[in-house]
Amino acid sequence: MSRTLGKIVAVGVITLLILSANEVFAQDGDTYVIRGATIHTVSSEPVKNGTIILRGGRIVAIGQNVDIPSGAQTIDGTGKHVYPGMIDAFSQLGLTEIGSVAATNDATEMGRFNPHLNAHTAIHPASEHIPVARANGITHTLAAPGGSGSGITGQATLVHLDGWTVEEMEIEKSAAMVMTWPSLATRGGRFGGFGGGGGRRSFDEVKRRFDEQVEEMDDWLVAAQHYKQAMDAGSTRLGRDLQLENLTRVLDRGMKVIIRANGHREIESAIEFAGKWNLDIVIAGASGARKVIDLLAEKSVAVILGPVQRLPSNQDDPYDDPNTLPGLLADAGVEIAFATFGSSDSRTLPYEAANSVSWGLAKDDAFEAITLGPARILGVADRLGSLEVGKVGNVIVTDGDPLEITTNIEHVFVRGVPSDLDNKHNRLWEEYKNRPLKAKAVTTT
Amino acid sequence: MRQFCLLALGLALTVVGKAAAQDTPVLIRGATILTAADAGKIENGAILFENGRISAVGLASDVQAPSNATVIDGTDKFVTPGIIDAHSHIAAESINEGSVSVSSMVSVMDVIDPTDIAIYREAAGGTTTSHVMHGSANPIGGQNAVIKHRWGEDAGGLLFQGAPPTIKFALGENPKRSRSAGTGLPQRYPASRMGVMDVIRQAFVEATEYRREWDAYEDRREGGDQGAIPPRRDLKLDPLVDILNGSLSVHAHSYRADEILQLMRVAEEFGFRIHTFQHVLEGYRVADEMAEHGAHASTFSDWWAYKVEAYEAIPHNAAIMTERGVVVSINSDSGEEGRHLNQEAAKTMKWGGLTEAQALALVTINPAIQLMIDDRVGSIEVGKDADVVLWENYPLSSYAKVRTTYVDGNVVFDVDQDREMRVRIAEEKAELLETLGEDEKEETGTRGGNR
């Protein structure tokens, strides 16, 4: 009874915090109306010739017959489509600027066990990548630390892709703890692995290293558990340890754990580990998940899939292995989300999702996997991911199907206010398409 | 004896170099045909190909099939020319000879790997011809190969017979090896964009002199001087003389507008033309100059920010260059991207506003023009090679899916055949694993790795 009460109080406090956050950042007085559009709510049937009203940062009305408040700024949505903004469920947006320049990369820290590090501390709100992604309708992302090799990579932050500071962008500062599972690949893996590259190793050697590294993960959780017990018991002999203090948060399903794993045996191992420690896990990557679909379904483990436009993992895999996997997972009842795992290419998120549609994933499910799906996976479906009264006003207006390449994104609202669609690319385009034709005289002087 | 050996070798090369002939005529009827030619889009169209060539194309009602033809119902489906990838590195054993600044003596044609599964996987994305290029380690790189995706043929059988030769140049970060610091690679001139241009200029000074020596020798021979001594053959300079003579076309890896401009000026100094700029991510800044020089451009759809010289790249690049009169293609540079160049082309309709026909041209007739094989491939016209893609749905879309890909009229990929093949492969693999597993258990007493 008291526990339930505590939960209610906790939820109340959180709700208050969210409301206060939005009160601070949204321009309370401004009301925005999109009228006469097809409103694709994702959570229910589309509303044709519908109107949606945003006020105080939130969606306050959706329907065919809603009163339009006076003084509202209105967009004529005739022939247009309204959707929730898209969520890139795992990216490095804000954490990297130019791939090959180390000085611009803040996604990866030294060392393999960094549970105390948080992406939030390095997100660069002025990154040129953010407006580029936003202009194509990506309104949120889980900005996640990377890492070289297996280990506890750090905490990922869920952000709105608009804001003057990271505090304005933030939805959940510690949305998830990212772990990178060791790899059993004998040729060195793209993710995890043993430092990458190198020649082929014997399976026995790789398996021995793998077991050692899983044991290391286990040791860290043992240490976190002991630390928690000591702290809960009011120990004064133990100094404050930021690594362990942060890692204790994943115990008893206190913080979501995203485990990066690709091969089916790695996924099996991660799920077994999560069961042992009662972790609330999501598998990220999962390129080799085909052989463990039933296990994922049985254990209700959600999956954040990487780009569909990737090569099959093995030489003898079917050419369309990446395309068919999302549909197979969805058919089995596994919750899926798509993510780019990148930054500059985050704008291609809807096309990655679309590339599984002709291979078995329903079109609506593909779109849900970049909106409400990731919102559920990341535990924010009460606020984001669909168009429902009371949810945060993250909305896009398009001239067609957002999964289709040729569709244009005409308006983007983040936290209930219009976002600037200007970006580095549009600016350069405007500038250079208007370059005066080169005068012949210039070359002859 | 030696003559006999050479003759035998010549015969062998002829045999392997000849691709299998198409046995039965194929008629695809009722499809929407995007021709990438003057005929534009033909709704409810039909295409007939026989003996590896397109023999008829038009309205379904106008095209008659021979009685022995395989007739395919194309209702609700689309037909395009086979996609041509103007910049690829698949099917090659090695890519870069990076030890020297000028590696014009080497050729990718010597290292074609016909077992690379990318040949098949790209065919499954509609790609039928690829320009397999030397890497970008040197200001003047090696010679390239043009292949058709005739999966199952040997190295000789993949080569696009009659495709004019091409050579790779490279500018900017890669040839100056700005990213090799700390990699243990030896330092090598050049280390700056100044040095890159100098290496190219020096090489053509040498080549001009070499050509003059040969011209003088040939003049003496023609003048009846039987005692004239020929200059020593130089395999590095021979290709450069071909460039000067216009018989070897230059495909130059480039990013920044300034280096694009400078290379055109160096070429003009020696009287030749840069045939095609590759990557050319800042081509939009010097499109007029490129058009004036006569250079083509082969670029990416939307990649940017992976290095400094790609930080000003914009997805409107192809559109701006097209509008300013440059022949533009979209290429892959990747065995993955080469599986969906149709979608990459479609992005130029969104970013830059190209028409459907302009977008399709970026991956069909335009790359064919750039590789000077447009008399053979790149569009659906009578007499051209039957390199044809049958799509399940609209190809310039994120939902696009290939049904069948034909090269020279032969099926190189088909969805149904692929399904059957993967069952066979799975069975074969299972049998092999069974054997391997037993052996390993006996030998080592451990669990065998299965991949």
A309: nearest CA partner in chain B: B336
How far is it, in rounded angstroms, from Cα A390 to Cα A377? 20
- pLDDT exceeds cutoff 70 at B269: yes
A425: nearest CA partner in chain B: B314
- pLDDT exceeds cutoff 80 at B17: no
How much is the pLDDT for A201?
Answer: 80
Q: Note whether B330 and B301 are within 8 A (CB).
A: yes
Q: Which residues of A315-337 are buried (b: 16+ CB within 10 A; e: fewer)?
A: eebbbbbbbbbbbbbbeeebbbb
Phi-psi group of B21: left, alpha or beta (phi > 0 → left; psi -120 to 50 → alpha; rest → beta): beta
Chain A contact present for B350, CB below 8 A: yes
CATH superfamily, with its number, for domain B83-377: Metal-dependent hydrolases (3.20.20.140)
Chain A contact present for B316, CB below 8 A: yes
B305 and A344: CB-CB below 8 Å?
Answer: yes
B308 and A101: CB-CB below 8 Å?
Answer: yes
- The separation between CA A430 and the C-alpha centre of its own chain, rounded to angstroms, equals 31
Angle at B394 between CA A321 and CA A133, to 5 degrees: 70
Phi-psi group of A354: left, alpha or beta (phi > 0 → left; psi -120 to 50 → alpha; rest → beta): alpha
B449 and A203: CB-CB below 8 Å?
Answer: yes
Cis peptide before A436 (omega within 30 of 0): no
Report the SS3 class of residue B373.
Answer: coil
Write the residue in A129, A204, A311 that is nearest to B305 by C-beta: A129
B306: nearest CA partner in chain A: A99
Write the residue in A186, A405, A438 that is nearest to B289 by C-beta: A438
Among B207, B233, B231, B208, smallest CA distance to B218 is for B231
| % of chain B residues with pLDDT over 70 | 90
How much is the pLDDT for B437?
Answer: 65
Report the SS3 class of residue A422.
Answer: coil
> Cβ contacts (< 8 Å) between A316 and chain B: which residues?
425, 429
How much is the pLDDT for B444?
Answer: 37
Strand partners, B72: B28
First and final C-alpha spacing in chain B: 49
What is this structure's pTM? 0.92
How much is the pLDDT for B16?
Answer: 42
How much is the pLDDT for B126?
Answer: 98
Among B138, B196, B131, smallest CA distance to B166 is for B131
pLDDT tens-place string over residues B38-94: 999 999 999 999 999 999 999 999 999 999 999 999 999 999 999 999 999 999 999
Scanning B155-214 for CB atoms below 8 A from A yields 173, 179
- Between B440 and B109, the more confident residue is B109
Shortest alpha-carbon distance between residue B324 and chain A (Å): 9
Residue to test with chain B: of A321, A405, A434, most B Cβ within 10 A: A405
Report the SS3 class of residue A264.
Answer: helix
Write out the CATH class of domain B1-81+378-414: mainly beta
**Which amino acid is present at A70?**
S
DSSP letter assigned to residue B309: G
DSSP codes, B81-117: EPEEEEEE--SBS----TTSSB-TT-BGGGGB-TT-T
Instruction: Supply B280's token pair.
Output: 């050319």
Q: Which domains does chain A have, with CATH numbers?
A: 1-84+386-424 (2.30.40.10), 86-180+252-384 (3.20.20.140)
How much is the pLDDT for B70?
Answer: 97
Confidence grade of residue B15 (pLDDT, cut at 50, 70, 90): very low
Instruction: Supply A321's token pair.
Output: 């292995």
Residue to test with chain B: of A86, A321, A340, A406, most B Cβ within 10 A: A406
How much is the pLDDT for B356?
Answer: 98
Report the SS3 class of residue B232.
Answer: coil
**Which amino acid is present at B339?**
R
How much is the pLDDT for A310?
Answer: 97
Shortest alpha-carbon distance between residue A237 and chain B (Å): 45
How far is it, in rounded angstroms, from Cα A342 to Cα A152? 19
Shortest alpha-carbon distance between residue B121 and chain A (Å): 6
- Stretch(es) of chain B classified as CATH 3.20.20.140: 83-377
How much is the pLDDT for B181?
Answer: 61
Chain position carrying tokens 């929730």:
A84
Contacts of A17 (CB under 8 A, 6+ apart): none
How much is the pLDDT for B441?
Answer: 44
Confidence grade of residue B445 (pLDDT, cut at 50, 70, 90): very low
How far is it, in rounded angstroms, from Cα A242 to Cα A114? 9
Shortest alpha-carbon distance between residue A415 and chain B (Å): 26
> Cβ contacts (< 8 Å) between A443 and chain B: which residues?
292
How far is it, in rounded angstroms, from Cα B247 to Cα B273? 11
Segment B220-237 shows an average pLDDT of 96
Confidence grade of residue B180 (pLDDT, cut at 50, 70, 90): low
How much is the pLDDT for A321?
Answer: 97
Chain position carrying tokens 């109107």:
A51
- Stretch(es) of chain B classified as CATH 2.30.40.10: 1-81+378-414
Report the SS3 class of residue A212.
Answer: helix
CB atoms within 10 A of CB B60: 19
Shortest alpha-carbon distance between residue A425 and chain B (Å): 5
Q: Note whether A229 and A221 are within 8 A (CB).
A: no
Beta strand residue intervals within A144-234, DSSP E: 151-160, 170-180
How far is it, in rounded angstroms, from Cα B60 to Cα B74? 10
Do β-strands B249-254 and A281-285 pair in parallel, antiparallel, or remain unpaired?
Answer: unpaired
How far is it, in rounded angstroms, from Cα B88 to Cα B338? 8
Phi-psi group of A116: left, alpha or beta (phi > 0 → left; psi -120 to 50 → alpha; rest → beta): alpha
Chain position carrying tokens 């280390």:
B191
Contacts of B400 (CB under 8 A, 6+ apart): A358, B340, B342, B343, B391, B392, B393, B394
Give the C-alpha distances (Å, rounded to integers) separating B201 from A54, B138, B235, B263: 63, 13, 18, 9
How much is the pLDDT for B179?
Answer: 56
Chain A contact present for B398, CB below 8 A: yes
**Which amino acid is present at A385?**
G
Chain A contact present for B431, CB below 8 A: no
Low-confidence residues in chain A, pLDDT < 70: 1-29, 188-199, 439-445
How much is the pLDDT for B433?
Answer: 84
A405 and B349: CB-CB below 8 Å?
Answer: yes
Shortest alpha-carbon distance between residue B308 and chain A (Å): 6
DSSP letter assigned to residue A152: E
Among A347, A270, A266, A335, smallest CA distance to A305 is for A335
How far is it, in rounded angstroms, from Cα B124 to Cα B338? 10
